[in-house]
Structure 1
Amino acid sequence: MEPASQVEEIEQSATAAPEGGNTRRGVLIGVGLAGAAGVVAACGGSDDSGDNGSAGQQSPTGGGGGAALAQASEIPVGGGKVFKDQKVVVVQPTQGTFKAFSAVCTHRSCPVDEVAGGTINCPCHGSKFKIADGSVAGGPATKPLEEKQVTVADGQIKLA
């Protein structure tokens, strides 16, 4: 049954006399079901590929890498830098080794805000993550930060 005809049927039953067996509760449940059917119909796509529309998109520079996040020289050895807009933190645990992690804390999804003392730090509840591998170094978080891939070419660090 089409969602529109369900709504018409419900509207008709809502105006029917009480002796018709319709209760206020029944009408409200029916309206809720019709609304749910409309949502399902609206969300259904014309193809069942599962594609969310983002596959195959290239970055503005083409070729898979985006704009440079930073110059390699901007990331201190034993430290790092948070890129809020990209929701990523780039670190250099040892000379010439660059890593990137999600800048979203795994505890309560707050954005991390600094890299200091060998850890990536979240201001919300005090979680700390090791710059070497993103694993938990302290605080309430129990999961490591998600690792992101970066490339370093011509002194520029880019998300891969």
Structure 2
Amino acid sequence: MERRPCLSRRLALLLPASAAGLGTLAACGPEGEGSDTPEPVRAEDGSVSLDEVPENASTLVNFGGQMPFVLLVRGSGEDIAAYSGYCTHNGCALSQVQEELDCPCHGSKFDASTGEVLAGPATRHLPEVDVVVDNGAVRRAG
């Protein structure tokens, strides 16, 4: 009588986790490929050059510190407004997709130029953040 190979319990328990991991890896392409979500601009020294924030557009910036992600909205010249880069529903960090900010946790969407809620479950707009422009650099006030 020929004996069939047997799966150990340990190996049987690892198979679903391995398959899930492989599926996740297969869904990921090379960095930047297939994604229209730009990485936040990093403010290494606590400030970001005004040149890195295009006029009449918005840019998500990582200032570091207690609340690193801030959405900078620039009009023309040094006209800058700033909003929290965190969802008002559950505090998840937002990602910028063209003219809106999306919450990866529960699907809320915010207007990237005003911070207003476009889709819930969030019900409150993004709070303003105080920033200053000094010598061509934008930094958080205070």
Same fold (TM over 0.5): yes
The answer (yes or no) to whether the contact 2:53–2:74 under 8 Å persists in 1 is no
The answer (yes or no) to whether the contact 1:121–1:129 under 8 Å persists in 2 is yes
Letter matched to residue 152 of structure 1: V
The answer (yes or no) to whether the contact 1:127–1:136 under 8 Å persists in 2 is yes
TM-score (norm 1): 0.50
Aligned-residue Cα RMSD (Å) equals: 2.1
> Is there any run of 5+ residues in structure 1 with no aligned partner, and where?
1-66
Letter matched to residue 59 of structure 2: G
Distance 1:148 1:92, change over 3 A: same
Runs of 4+ aligned structure 1 residues displaced above 4 Å come to none
Distance 1:158 1:84 in 2: 8
TM-score (norm 2): 0.56
Distance 1:130 1:155, change over 3 A: same
TM-fit CA distance, 1:129: 1.5
Distance 1:84 1:68 in 2: 6
Note if 1:151 corresponds to 2:115.
Answer: no
Distance 1:128 1:93 in 2: 20
Distance 1:138 1:95, change over 3 A: farther
Letter matched to residue 60 of structure 2: K
TM-fit CA distance, 1:82: 3.2
Q: Which residue in 2 is equivalent to 1:98?
A: 80
SS of 1:148's partner is coil
The answer (yes or no) to whether the contact 1:75–1:81 under 8 Å persists in 2 is no
The answer (yes or no) to whether the contact 2:100–2:112 under 8 Å persists in 1 is yes
Q: Quick one: percent identity of the two aligned structures?
A: 33
> Is there any run of 5+ residues in structure 2 with no aligned partner, and where?
1-44
Letter matched to residue 122 of structure 2: A
Distance 2:91 2:73 in 1: 23
- Higher mean displacement: 138-147 or 88-97: 88-97
